[in-house]
Structure 1
């Protein structure tokens, strides 16, 4: 192995089940040059996230079986490195940052990270403050991590890796919950880190933002095998067929936008003078309760037509997800939110949830079974109690096949990749009979083929069954291509936009 190689996997075989027939990494060989910015792309479920966990030494130490092969970090056999030494070589930012946090606030989390690599206590605060200033995340330092938006959590998790000063940083879908501006800011910081000699290895389903900065793009196929490499902004057109064969987003391409009439259906959901504050607790002042948390939404009026798809755009942390929680009566608000003309404040939760379904940013939080097929059957049986077991299983298999999950039907939902989990969560909610679906980043972590499967199924439900869909996304092209109506949350206001404006 060359001294200029940061990471090398040689003939690695890894599976989650000891007697399983499928290897997630199937004789995978891959080398990443030191000091470079490399982007790994591949279809959802091809083994990208598993590769990251194996490279970091998290597997098989915490699950799964490494049947063969060798992994080296900067020439050192991974098996010979304890966790502290591994962290000096490589740290990972996973798809779901919630799974990485151990403490209550970001400042405490960063101290915890430094403590684990034995940084002297007297140096910690200065190092944290310097990293916060360089990354622009000082306002997040003392906020409770559970109150941060998905995008803010991603920034917080990256700042923890930054402060540890590892030689190689591996990022798994790091831009997924960020708006374009925030993602560009993170990329700028990553490039500064690369200039200082660090290696950046990014897993992503879209290469557009990385294209000009990347030294190389590597395409993976089933089993984590290399399908094509050496791709960069200069020779990209030569590899278009590789992207299309693997069902991946080709940089610069846009989905076709079908011509649709302006959304004019009767409103199913309405906001009237709605104001929503950040999730900070009220305080007592002179014996009175004072609500001084900043507004996320202020005095908003909006109509969401029945039988239509509405997209909600907006920068990270502006309150899109919190607004969904308010619609479900899980976050306080003022004003009136009306569903089918009824004030939801007067509706009991179980009645409200019979009409409204939701898929959260982290779909693993809402699974209720230990089997993929059972998860879909729960939704089917909930709305069709008389459905026979055979008919239920048959319909579940058909739906799973449509979403590219039939082969995983016997798996636990928690064994799926993040992209596969999201498809399962969307499918499980669609199996129900609610009139309104709230989808928080439904296409996050999906390849092009999977995005089309999800959005086409939603469109079919809207047009054939009168379903109403409201989805949050940072993908302006997705919103322009699929939404009948678009709102942008900006400066505490919900502003209606046309497809041309958002593009």
Structure 2
């Protein structure tokens, strides 16, 4: 099904993949894991034909997928045979509403109206998307967009599925839904290749784990082999736990005799136009002496709340206070820094160093931040050439060096491996002594456990 012999990929003078040898049989499920920047996404890009069709890389060695030698001259025929889910789901959306997006790929290949309607109903039932048909794509949460992206990839039958971090931004409920559908694909003898950092949810379907480092394959483990490893042994490989994480918060820092900054909300309400309020909160208190985690289902309003707290949205009702003083939107914008789910929206400069220093007010922290987040080797790189996890670390570095008093991280571990997740957590712990208010929006319980002292849970209205 997939055969790679001495496969390599270069971008200009930089080697991204080197001397890969890998065979994947029909019906097999293989998970590619390893550190951010190890080459996982680049391997997916070669196999889905986007290199060199979209990304101008040079391929050497032999890459075979299905009946095609890659890069293929029959690109349009090849992509019809594969289902693809990207790390950033928005990059594969074309339509304004969910129903049209689900129909889009079938319309392109000339399916009849009856076939499209039937398939949309079937897939929507599996992904619990029927209530989303009339929703605009721009109104969906990050996790909801991820579900739509995966459902769209399943609208027509494929022999091969290539998935790049499909659990990114999904809550526990939707990860369970994703697992169920992957089981369905596996039972139908589909071949599945997944690049992923979260591993526990894939145990019901995975046959092998391929470990990558610095563009090379350094390990090839059966599921049974990797299950014999302890969490400590997995950590030494740079891998996350194979056990489903549970919330177990770190102890609160002793802050007696320490003055703390406070951000308080009273009777906060927000509704989109004339719709039912998505946020209704009688009171919420965030303090600089403790890191707060914000959890809740996809679509519960977590990102909306972050936009209210940073002044990007105006509340429908209620007030926000900082150290007892009522804040305007302008006040909140000056005091806060939001690291978005999609960090591509906030990367503007031509080098990483310029990106993190251009508006920095805490350059005294530069060396500590660069060392902790392992950005030394990336300082001269263009931010848009980085992997998803590397971009995430750059955005977090920008937030830390900004000198802002309120920092909100929206799904900061999207694309981060275990090593870099721990680095970000360590950074937050260090900065917790600087009187910064931290709010972390995340479905990642491993990260919540390492970083947060208290939890606020939003429920879906």
Within a 5 Å distance, the mapping from 1:55-454 to structure 2 comes to 55-223=47-215, 225-233=216-224, 235-238=226-229, 243-252=234-243, 258-261=250-253, 266=260, 268-277=262-271, 279=272, 282=273, 291=274, 293-333=275-315, 334-344=317-327, 347=328, 349=330, 351-380=331-360, 383=361, 396=366, 399-454=369-424
Q: How many residues align?
A: 457
Instruction: State the distance in 2 between where 1:263 and 1:274 align.
Output: 28
Q: What is the match of residue 486 of structure 1?
A: 455
Q: Distance in 1 between matches of 2:236 and 2:10?
A: 25
The 2-side partners of 1:153 and 1:61 are apart by 25
Of 416, 423, 429, 1:459 maps to 429
Secondary structure (helix, strand or coil) at the match of 2:357 reads helix
In 2, are the aligned partners of 1:267 and 1:303 still within 8 Å (CA)?
A: no
Instruction: State which drifts further: 154-163 or 331-340.
Output: 331-340
What's the RMSD between the two structures over aligned residues?
2.4
Question: 1:287-342 deviations in whole A, cap 9, x for unaligned?
Answer: xxxx2x23322243111112321101111111100111122233342211222223
The CA deviation at 1:439 is 0.6
Provide the residue aligned with 1:473 in structure 2. Answer: 442
| Change in 2 beyond 3 A, CA 1:10/1:154 | same
- Aligned counterpart, 1:13: 8
State the Cα distance separating 1:424 from its structure 2 match. 0.5
The C-alpha deviation readout for 1:170-206, integer Å capped at 9, x for no partner, is 1111112111121011110121122122122221112
Deviation at 1:401, TM superposition (A): 3.5
User: Relative to structure 1, is the Cα distance of residues 152 and 262 closer, same or farther in structure 2, using a 3 angstrom cutoff?
Assistant: farther
Q: How much has 1:57 moved relative to structure 2?
A: 0.5
Q: CA deviation at 1:461?
A: 1.0
CA distance in 1, matches of 2:311, 2:226: 51
Give the deviation of 1:476 after TM superposition. Answer: 2.6
Aligned to 1:60, the other structure's residue is in SS state: helix
* Cα-to-partner distance string for 1:48-83 (whole Å, 9 max, x where unaligned): 111111110001111232241222122321334523
The alpha-carbon deviation at position 117 of structure 1 amounts to 2.9
| CA distance, structure 2, for counterparts of residue 305 and residue 428 of structure 1 | 22
Q: Residues 47 and 58 (structure 1 numbering): CA distance in 2 closer, same or farther, change over 3 Å?
A: same
1:405 and 1:40 mapped to 2: Cα distance? Answer: 24
CA spacing shift, 1:348–1:181, aligned 2, 3 Å: closer
The CA distance in 1 between the partners of 2:151 and 2:136, in whole Å, is 15
Give yes or no for contact 1:373–1:397 (8 Å, CA) kept in 2: no
SS across alignment from 1:103: coil
Equivalent-residue separation in structure 1 for 2:370 and 2:25 (angstroms): 39
Provide the C-alpha distance between the structure 2 equivalents of 1:468 and 1:80, rounded to a whole number of angstroms. Answer: 51
- 1:365-409 CA distances to partner (integer Å, 9 max, x unpaired)? 1112021111112132xx26xx7xxxx8xx756633331222122
Normalised TM-score (structure 2):
0.92
Offset of 1:267 from its aligned partner?
5.7
SS in 2 for 1:59: helix
Q: Which runs of 5+ in 2 are unaligned?
A: none
Distance 2:265 2:355 in 1: 33
Q: Distance in 2 between matches of 1:320 and 1:201?
A: 31
Note the alpha carbon deviations across 1:252-300, whole angstroms, 9 max, x for none.
Answer: 39799653358897562111111223x4xx3xxxxxxxx2x23322243
* Greater Cα shift, 71-80 or 181-190: 71-80
SS at match of 1:169: strand
Distance 1:238 1:338, change over 3 A: closer
Q: Deviations over 1:341-368 (max 9, x none)?
A: 2323xx252x432211110001111112
* Alpha-carbon distance between aligned partners in 2 of 1:458 and 1:122, rounded to the nearest angstrom: 53
With normalisation by structure 1, the TM-score equals: 0.85
Shift of 1:250: 3.3
